[in-house]
């Protein structure tokens, strides 16, 4: 299993020792109340605190020891690097974690290969000219890509992503030094995760761009996260309609799969576009800049997946639909393949960290 980089761990320990002596930022987020429970910090404790951090940067702008002070305390940067290390440490299978390394170039290559593979698969399994002729009426999508192939590839990709992320989450939980967990702690942790309560800073919001307070990033995260969940719900309801009820796609405009998919796609487009824009204008000093490429690549992949889905919906009665559908499915295949090795897992680890924090508070 991947060993945490010693320099990153040492820096995280140094800043936490300074913060634990100061305690000026106790009310800002879940990190600092959890920090005060320790006099010293084992690696498991630092991993836990790093995954509690929501990178709102409020502590950085409030800190009297932040750069250019000689202490150079930069909690958001130190914890961003340590979180990135935990993603690799607990990822399964371990060799793939090192291969991807949240690298934007690798994300781009995997995406291109996945789209190409689906296009070739479509061309090989269907009649010549399928990708350039309109397919309308019942089962139109399945004349482009056979249902068995579409469902089989999607199931395998999603199943692999769920398995890999579950194994990573179990590894993280077992080594986090977790307290005795109660139902109340689980409910509190899940509530804090889904409401993004810790992106509220000290109550006025977070420092999205600079020292001024804002709730923009919190709202954009909500749009992206709930947009993704709505798209997943749309896929599940469509699969239920096709497999259980025997209703083949495409579905009417006011059917549940289309409504959920439309709302989810719009949420993803708004959330990813806004977060990408914030990354371009935010103060780079508190950030871990070497992680920026992978973060942006994931945002772009999510945006492309949502945009291609909306295009399939809007152009499903045209000759452009077959090609758009193949590209959309290729993007989904790439997204599912990359999820366990991307920043996407931060939502899972952060939820577990919030549950542990609630359990530690009792």
Bridge partners, 214 (sequence order): 206
Residue 184 burial by Cβ neighbours in a 10 Å radius (0-12, 13-18, 19+): exposed
| CA pseudo-torsion sign 36, 16, 40, 193 | positive
Q: Which of 55, 73, 56 is nearest to 64 (CA)?
A: 73
At 196-239, the pLDDT tens digits run: 988 876 667 788 888 898 999 999 999 999 999 999 999 999 98
Bridge partners, 206 (sequence order): 214
CA angle 138, 319, 116 (to 5 degrees): 100
* Inter-residue contact 34 to 27 (CB < 8 Å): no
Angle between helices 6-22 and 75-90 (to 10 degrees): 140
Rounded to two decimals, what is the model's pTM?
Answer: 0.90
* Inter-residue contact 55 to 288 (CB < 8 Å): no
The mean pLDDT value for 346-359 works out to 94
- Residue 127 tokens, joined: 């009649």
Q: What pLDDT band is residue 64 in, cutting at 50, 70 and 90?
A: very high
d(CA 102, CA 13): 24
d(CA 237, CA 256): 7
Give the pLDDT confidence score for residue 1 in this predicted structure: 41
- Residue 81 tokens, joined: 């690097």
- Residue 256 tokens, joined: 């549940």
Query: Which of residues 95 and 92 earns the better pLDDT score?
Result: 92
CA R_g for the chain:
22
User: What contacts 24+ positions apart, CB below 8 Å, involve 307-315?
Assistant: 307/265, 307/269, 309/231, 309/261, 309/265, 310/262, 310/265, 310/266, 310/269, 313/258, 313/261, 313/262, 313/265
The mean pLDDT value for 174-179 works out to 76
Residue 81 has pLDDT above 80, yes or no: yes
At 296-335, the pLDDT tens digits run: 989 999 999 999 999 999 998 888 888 888 899 899 989 9
d(CA 57, CA 208): 7
Q: Which of 188, 236, 227, 214 is nearest to 353 (CA)?
A: 188
Query: Which of residues 300 and 142 earns the better pLDDT score?
Result: 300
Q: Which of 113, 120, 121 is nearest to 150 (CA)?
A: 121
Bridge partners, 201 (sequence order): 205
**Mean pLDDT for the chain overall:** 88
Q: Which helix (H) or strand (E) holds 64?
A: none
């Amino acid at each position: 299993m991947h060993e945490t980089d010693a320099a990153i761990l040492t820096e995280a320990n140094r800043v936490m020792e300074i913060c634990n002596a100061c305690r000026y930022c106790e009310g800002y987020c879940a990190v600092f109340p959890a920090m005060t429970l320790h006099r010293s910090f084992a690696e498991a404790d630092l991993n836990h605190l790093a995954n509690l951090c929501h990178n709102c940067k409020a502590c950085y702008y409030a800190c009297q020891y932040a750069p250019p002070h000689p202490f150079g305390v930069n909690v958001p940067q130190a914890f961003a690097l340590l979180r990135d290390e935990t993603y690799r440490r607990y990822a399964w299978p371990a060799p793939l974690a090192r291969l991807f390394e949240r690298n934007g170039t690798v994300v781009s290559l995997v995406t291109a290969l996945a789209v190409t593979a689906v296009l070739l698969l479509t061309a090989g399994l269907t009649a010549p000219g399928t990708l350039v002729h309109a397919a309308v009426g019942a089962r139109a999508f399945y004349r482009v890509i056979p249902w068995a192939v579409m469902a089989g590839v999607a199931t395998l990709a999603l199943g692999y992503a769920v398995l890999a992320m579950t194994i990573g989450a179990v590894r993280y939980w077992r080594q986090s030094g977790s307290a005795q967990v109660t139902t109340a702690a689980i409910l509190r942790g899940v509530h804090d995760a889904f409401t993004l309560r810790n992106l509220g800073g000290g109550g006025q919001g977070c420092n999205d761009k600079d020292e001024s307070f804002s709730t923009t990033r919190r709202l954009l995260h909500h749009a992206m996260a709930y947009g993704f969940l709505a798209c997943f719900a749309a896929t599940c309801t469509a699969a239920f309609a096709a497999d259980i009820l025997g209703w083949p796609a495409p579905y009417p405009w006011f059917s549940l799969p289309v409504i959920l998919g439309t709302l989810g796609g719009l949420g993803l487009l708004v959330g990813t576009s806004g977060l990408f824009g914030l990354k371009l204008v935010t103060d780079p000093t508190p950030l871990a800049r070497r992680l920026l490429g992978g973060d942006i690549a994931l945002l772009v992949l999510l945006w492309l997946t949502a945009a291609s889905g909306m295009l399939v919906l809007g152009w499903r009665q045209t000759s452009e639909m077959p090609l758009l559908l193949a590209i959309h499915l290729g993007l989904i295949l790439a997204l599912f393949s990359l999820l366990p090795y991307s920043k996407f897992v931060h939502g899972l680890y952060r939820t577990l960290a919030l549950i542990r924090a609630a359990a530690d508070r009792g």
